[in-house]
Amino acid sequence: RMALVGSPGAGMLKKEKPMMSVSALIQQSHWGRGLSLENNLSLVGPQSPLDMKPDTNSLLGGSFSPSGGASGPTSPTTYAMGHGNVLGNGNKGSNSAFPPNHPLSGSKHLCSICGDRASGKHYGVYSCEGCKGFFKRTVRKDLSYACREDKQCLVDKRQRNRCQYCRYQKCLSMGMKREAVQEERQRTKERDQNEVESTSSFHTDMQVERILEAERRVDCKMELSSEIPSNDIGQTIDRQMLQLVDWAKHIPHFTSLNLDDQIILLKAGWNELLIAGFTFRSVGVRDGLVLGGDVTVTRSTAHIAGITTIYERVLTELVTKMREMKMDKTELGCLRTIILYNPEVRGIKSSQEVEHLREKVYAVLDEYTKM
């Protein structure tokens, strides 16, 4: 688990306080209220104790889920928000009230590739939306991968994004057919030609310039928020949650989605979105994680808080990776938009539209990186 930690003795968010309601944040009528969680207790979820820690399983793969030790009431300042029932994080099968093969679970099959809940039969085998999309992109773009290990990497729900080579090989070994992707593309070609005008307009709307502008708005708001004390981690993340909603409202097509879907997508992705943001801000720092403004978690603070292992892994596997890639703010914006538009989140009504939006972001990102 990831704990966002301030200096010892800093004001802490009590463990028994529930998370701020994303539903309340996104509703315009609530935007005028105070920024701190103390002032938003009327907008929170169920009044039960929460183990408030953000998911960080992306350190093992590509998504964030619980791991690591617990934090007691006497630990240094920690700020986290992660609880299946409150967040409604739809891409975690364990949050379901029924096992995968139960008639009421929504699916009688598991993904043959990673073991996640299958959404149906795709390209010849039962698979989830994630593995379906991965295989489709690989075939359509004729991508090739390399394995850093011995070509025997574990491919499961948590680590499916860790090695693309082994994931693709497992897709093939389980029976996914490349020709099925090509046939699907051929079948949709005529339909796509009939939608050239609307698609062209849609593509114009999904411009990297608009995504970049959304990222710049976040930066401006952080500069305006610099008066927040550096040891007040709670207020820093609290304010960033509000900024995250404003950021999403300026991402192309987000506000055109059903309001309930907007709320569900933000609930499911807020932790990854914030972590991607502070990881990018930490690229230029020699030793530390910059949460925002002048709030930085140092190695010594991490040691005192007992999260040295997680701290080091974030630096080596996320910050270092971004630094090596020389990722710029436009690419960060596209990455965060891809995280936001997650068609696998359970409960959204417009999953096909969300998947279409995500594919558009992949397309504009691909164009941008070739410039």
Distance CA 363, CA 355 (A): 12
CATH of domain 208-369: 1.10.565.10
pTM exceeds 0.85, yes or no: no
Residues 118-152: tens digit of each pLDDT: 988 999 999 999 999 999 999 988 999 999 999 99
| Phi, psi values for residue 296, rounded to 5° | -130, 135
- Residue 166 tokens read as 């082994």
List all residues 6 or more positions away from 310 whose beta carbon is below 8 Å from its beta carbon: 1, 2, 3, 56, 59, 68, 302
- Asked if pLDDT for residue 223 goes beyond 60, the answer is no
254: left (phi over 0), alpha (psi -120 to 50) or beta: alpha
Which CATH number applies to 120-180: 3.40.50.12280, 3.30.50.10, 1.20.140.10, 3.40.50.300?
A: 3.30.50.10
Residues of the chain with CATH 3.30.50.10: 120-180
- CA angle, residues 324, 328, 330, in degrees to nearest 5: 145
Residues 280-290: tens digit of each pLDDT: 988 888 778 78
Residues of the chain with CATH 1.10.565.10: 208-369
Residues 62-103: tens digit of each pLDDT: 333 333 333 333 332 333 333 333 223 334 344 444 444 343
Are 251 and 332 in contact by the 8 Å Cβ rule? The answer is no
Residue found under tokens 């609880």:
83
Distance CA 19, CA 17 (A): 7
Determine the 3-state secondary structure of 127 from DSSP.
strand
Residue found under tokens 């207020």:
235
Residue 200 to residues 150, 185, 187, 197, 260: CA-CA distances in angstroms? 44, 18, 20, 5, 27
